[in-house]
Structure 1
Amino acid sequence: MQTIRLTICMGLCVLLLAAGCGRQQQESHPLPASLTLAVGGENPEGYDPTLGWGSYGNPLFHSTLLRRDADLNIVPDLAATWHLATDRLTWTVTIRPDVVFADGSPLTARDVAYTFNTAAVAGGVLDLANLEKAEALNDITVQLRLKQPDITFIHYLITLGIVPERLHGPGYGRRPVGSGPYKLVRWDEGQQMVVEANPYYYGVQPAIKRLIFLFAGEDAALAAARAGKIDVLSVPSSLATREIPGMKLHVVKSVDNRGLMFPCVPDTGDKTPHGLVVGNDVTADVAIRRAVNFAINRQALVDGVLNGFGRPAFGPVDDLPWDNQAIRFKDNDAEKAGIILTQAGWLDVDGDGVREKDGIKAEFTIVYNATDSLRQGLALAVADMLRPVGIRAMPRGENWDRIKNELVHSTVVVFGFGGHSPLEMYKLFHSPGPEPSYWNGGFYTNGVVDGYLDQARAASSFADAIPLWQKAQWDGQTGFAVAGDAPWAWLVNLDHTYYINQCLDVGRSQMEPHGHGWPITANINEWQWTCE
């Protein structure tokens, strides 16, 4: 560990020692041979799409069958045509015949079938359990057969990068070969990654031929940017008002949200098959959950915790096509929160400022990842907002593994989600199994909501599914929105904030998903230097 730290420090020192002439070099050579990015950490599991690489961003080294453009429309990538059979069980995809991998070998339908079949049994973050079999019919045609109709399966056509069957195996993620716009040249784990343009790429060749991804801590990366050695820097909103010479702020709207997930069942002593405690007697009362939602001032969270870079969140899919605008409500309403609590029998009978009911205090712990200052800030601010309505919330930082593996079913948790597929909504709100992990860790259940979600997945087209996704949120009578069961208190949607070289044009960024991966690179073959 000491050696790794020394190596990283020496590498950053070299960057900073060169900084004296760094900006001058940029001014005299306005088209650098490479571009340096510090936009997040490396993927410790490697860069294997069958294990989840690229599922929350751009796979970079790999092509996908389909992709989303800047407006989130579905457009072709590898696919020339795609068709869903009338029984909604078989996708038939014809791929471009001119595609080769970065090593010059042809990409065929057999590689596509292999990728999907492998991902389905790989045990990674991808859930392709509904895939019965992928089969190549010829060199350019693949069939993907499902066990049951599921319109959201198209999400995997958009996000799963295709790997070469003959090269894939243990260790592939550290030496990935794909057909995307860039190829991996060198990965110095813990330090940097060097990639170069793939000369065999079938699409628009990127203008920037060499990228260096720097893996450094926040302070070190900021120092390197100030020294002129970084061209694209991702920063938290708390740092997004600083001036960095030679760089400009680039703000990207996102569906990267943060919210409070409530345990929705009482603590009856039940445990999961793995022995985890289930339930919370306070948050099991919908009145508590609804009161929390009305008491919170979301705009104040945006202004204070996010430094103004974001927008209030009222649901998990704000501003996406399947968002139900009817779920919006007036928050920062302590009076309404108080009425809800009083009518439900939560009263402060002993005058200590905390309501109680049937001998139970209106209090609960809010846990958050102890290494995440933003989630900590949200938890602390929410606790302050709940105090005037008679709810005592006690923020506590915890190890993230302990949160996910021990506390998630019995404790209020600050979580973050946000993707480009309604499948995420299904996972969050459909009735869970006996061991739901963190997706529906609060054990929320509503049979009507389940019905809408199931019908949406089984719809004949993506467009036909949208009204059903919206009804699951609120149909006028029930739903998982605040007017209904309120299993969450959604808080904020983050803006993703970057500093970029003032001579760099990154085009029009799409609304970005939750911040895993490198979502800003989704349109990287459009980037170009502008200074002459």
Structure 2
Amino acid sequence: MPAGESVSPISQVSDESVSEGSDKLVSEGSEELVVAVGTHGGEPEAGFDPIAGWGNSREPLVQSTLFKRDSEANLINDLATNYTISSDGLKWTVTIRDDVKFHDGVPLTARDVAFTFNTAANAGGNIDLSMLKKATAIDNYTIEFELNDPQSTFINKLVALGIVPEHAYNAETYGSNPIGSGPYKFVQWDKGQQVIFEANPDYYGQKPYFKKLTMLFMGSDSAFAAAKAGQVDLAEIPASYANQEVPGMKIVSLDSIDARGISFPMNPNTGEKTENSYAIGNNVTSDPAIRKALNIGIDRQALIEGALNGQGKEEFTGVDKLPWGNKEAIFEDGDIEEAKKILTEGGWIDTDGDGIVEKNGLEAEFTLLYPANAQDRQALAIALSEEARKLGINIKIVGKSWNEIDTLAHSTPVLFGFGSLDPADLYLKYYSKSYDPSSYNNIIMYSNPVVDNYLRKAITSVDLETANKNWQLAAWDGTTGFSAKGDATWLWIATINYVYIMDENLDIGTPRIQPHGADIFGNILEWKRTAN
């Protein structure tokens, strides 16, 4: 289990009864499973292609990965049988099983693994493989990964990427008709509606209990209605539904490492623009007094209770629960008087009596963006705005599409979600040279040479203890860091719970720790029905 606050895999939630279920349409005891998963993750725009993002850091179902993680985040083998790292950290050698076949009957070999990683690296997809120089099949069951930079976090890339067949891969068509070697075979995809998988009879691992898996792509309200009507076995639902009770169904709440946080553009607005002509900088959030006051002044637990219906945990650094989280960076929040003192000392004073502080004629006011279709984020943004008002800061919340947010995120705070078992995310978020205008890497354009030094030591170390120590120091070393005690680069608020309603006879075992976007199928091979 990651260090820090423990993560309880499952907690049951049930209180007030608000509705009665209809006759069940999902047959009890059936080896078919029908789920609605539209709230998080949802339908993959590019289909079921790992190189285009499908299953990255989650169970891809159709494909196998080299390694997986168990319910306590420990590394376990999937295709891999062993791995070694050279003393300089630049060569990783992985051996794989010799008994694996793709769904079309063709044996999976090291060539397929090398092909997958080289193709993904060249594609520049969701997984950052910029450190990979090349992957080479040494023999049928041995792959050598040559890195251009030693990376302590490279093992996480071997967990994240599903393996595709070299002989049957076409970037244009694979996502719509994928072939893999995982526990489930692709059957059909009715875009905008559902995807159907069936169990792989030749799977090399534990055979799944459920022989057919149908995923329905639904919004949260429709998914909850379908669950109440007995049309699905399991549905992801918003936190606001966590206390509801439906006959024949149970509510399950899963803790996660999925943190909600506000990005603060660190530079003032000087008229500079990105290569796409998007504005850079914000004259309010570039002032550290604003960032620090918000961090210390808001009451995170109050936000969780009000906006998230209690379904979450306080978060201060974005990685509090993880081995690279720094407990010394955590502080007491909800201190309104201290927050006001910070603002006053920073020159922010309410001179006109309107309740909003100003500095040199500039009001402490900014827009906060959130994805318009995310109910939980909208509720959190509203509650945060109310808390900020107590400090004399006016936050105007606006819901937009991600396409619109992308054009504004360099100059406007955004309510993001992040959460991964790969500490390289910290590197991409805070290392000054990781800024990439085409992605969310260092979207705030943060630059601190001391933090850069810690981040480089962490990511290039081949010793895990040394790496984790430097990740922690990057957050706070007693003098500086990216956390609120240092530069206050983000306003981290909470790690959310993922809430599901499911058939009362569905046993989902011990789920894996939930990352951003959830990994509800991470332990699908443990799932079964407990009654007929």
Give the TM interval when normalised to the shorter protein: over 0.9
Mapping of residues 308-457 of structure 1, within 5 Å: 308-404=310-406, 406-431=407-432, 432-433=434-435, 435=437, 437-457=439-459
Q: Distance in 1 between matches of 2:264 and 2:179?
A: 42
Rate the CA distance shift 1:434–1:113 in 2: closer, same or farther, 3 A: closer
The 2-side partners of 1:343 and 1:217 are apart by 46
Contact kept in structure 1, 2:428 and 2:435, CA below 8 Å? no
Give, as a single letter, the amino acid of the residue that structure 2 aligns with 1:47.
F
Corresponding residue for residue 485 of structure 1: 487
The structure richer in helix per residue is 1
| Amino acid of the structure 1 residue aligned with 2:134 | K
1:463-482 to structure 2, matched below 5 A, reads 463-482=465-484
Aligned equivalent of 2:92: 91
Structure 1 residue 218 displacement after superposition: 2.8
Give CA-to-partner distance per residue, 1:261-302, whole Å, 9 cap, x none: 111111122222222211111111111100011111111111
Amino acid at match of 2:125: G
How far apart, in 1, do the equivalents of 2:105 and 2:438 lie? 43
- Counterpart of 2:178, as a letter, is P
Residue of structure 2 in register with 1:271 after alignment: 273
In structure 2, what residue type is equivalent to 1:426? Y
User: Tell me, what secondary structure is at the counterpart of 2:258?
Assistant: strand
Q: Which amino acid aligns with 1:525?
A: L
Q: What corresponds to 1:35 in structure 2? A: 33
Separation in 2 of the partners of 1:203 and 1:221? 31
1:294 aligns with 2:296: yes
Counterpart in the other structure of 2:6: none
Q: Do 2:475 and 2:481's aligned partners in 1 also have CA atoms closer than 8 Å?
A: yes
User: Following the alignment from structure 2 to structure 1, what is the Cα–Cα distance between the partners of residues 467 and 522?
Assistant: 26
**Are 1:272 and 1:434, in contact at CA under 8 Å, matched by a contact in 2?**
no
Corresponding residue number in structure 1 for 2:228:
226
Counterpart of 2:4?
Answer: none
Aligned runs of 1:58-207 on 2, under 5 Å? 58-169=59-170, 170-207=172-209
Q: 2:496: which partner in 1?
A: 494
Q: Over residues 388-416 of structure 1, what are the superposed CA-to-partner deviations in whole Å (9 max), with x where a residue is unaligned?
A: 22212111222321111x21111111111
> 2:461 is matched with which residue: 444, 447, 459?
459
Aligned twin of 1:280: 282
Q: Deviation of residue 21 (structure 1)? A: 5.9
Task: Using the TM superposition, give the Cα deviation of residue 101 of structure 1 relative to its aligned residue in structure 2, in angstroms.
Answer: 1.1
The offset of 1:47, in angstroms, is 0.7
Q: Take 1:253 and 1:20, find their aligned partners in 2: how far apart are those partners?
A: 29
Secondary structure in 2 matching 1:427: helix
SS of match in other structure, 2:155? helix
Partner of 1:5: none
TM-fit CA distance, 1:368: 1.6
Q: Write the distance in 2 (CA, Å) between the matches of 1:377 and 1:20.
A: 30
Distance 1:417 1:495 in 2: 13
Give the match for residue 529 of structure 2.
529
Q: 2: CA distance between counterparts of 1:383 and 1:181? A: 46
What is the CA distance between 1:223 and its match in structure 2?
A: 2.4
Give SS of 1:137's match.
strand
How many angstroms apart in 1 are the aligned matches of 2:320 and 2:186? 35
Q: Which amino acid aligns with 2:304?
A: V
Q: Quick one: distance in 1 between partners of 2:151 and 2:272? A: 33
Counterpart of 1:166 in 2: which secondary structure? helix
Give aligned-pair identity as a percent: 47
Deviation at 1:20, TM superposition (A): 7.1
TM-score, length-normalised on structure 2? Answer: 0.92
Give the C-alpha shift of residue 81 in structure 1.
0.5
**Corresponding pairs, count:** 507
Q: TM-score, normalised by structure 1?
A: 0.92
* Counterpart contact for 2:57–2:159, Cα < 8 Å: no
SS of 2:512's equivalent in the other structure is coil
In structure 1, how many angstroms separate the alpha carbons of the residues matched to 2:213 and 2:400? 36
Partner secondary structure for residue 332 of structure 2: coil
Structure 1 moving runs of 4+ over 4 Å:
none
- Between the aligned partners of 1:429 and 1:309, the Cα distance in structure 2 is 28
Using the alignment, how far apart are the partners of 2:361 and 2:278 within structure 1? 25
Q: Which runs of 5+ in 1 are unaligned?
A: 1-18
Q: Output the amino acid matched with 1:229.
A: Q
Contact in 1 for aligned 2:223/2:236 (Cα 8 Å): no
CA distance, structure 2, for counterparts of residue 355 and residue 137 of structure 1: 65
Aligned residue for 1:10? none
SS in 1 for 2:414: strand
CA gap of 1:356–1:102, structure 2 versus 1, over 3 A, is same
1:434 Cα offset (Å):
6.4
1:332 CA drift (Å): 0.8
Larger displacement relative to structure 2 (335-344 or 183-192):
183-192
Contact 1:51 1:126 in 2 (8 A): no
Matches of 1:266 and 1:313 in 2, distance apart? Answer: 27
Q: Find the aligned partners of 1:339 and 1:125 in 2 and give their Cα distance.
A: 42
Work out the CA distance in 2 between the residues paired with 1:31 and 1:463.
47
AA at the equivalent of 1:526: E
SS in 1 for 2:167: coil
Shift of 1:231: 0.7
Q: Secondary structure at the match of 2:321?
A: coil
Whether contact under 8 Å (2:31, 2:209) holds in the other structure is: no
Q: Structure 2 stretches of 5 or more lacking a match?
A: 1-20
Q: What residue identity is the alignment partner of 1:504?
A: L
Partner of 1:13: none
Mapped contact 2:457–2:470 kept (Cα < 8 A): yes
Of residues 436-445 and 86-95 in structure 1, the stretch that sits farther from structure 2 once superposed is: 436-445
What is the deviation of 1:144? 0.6
| Counterpart in the other structure of 2:513 | 511
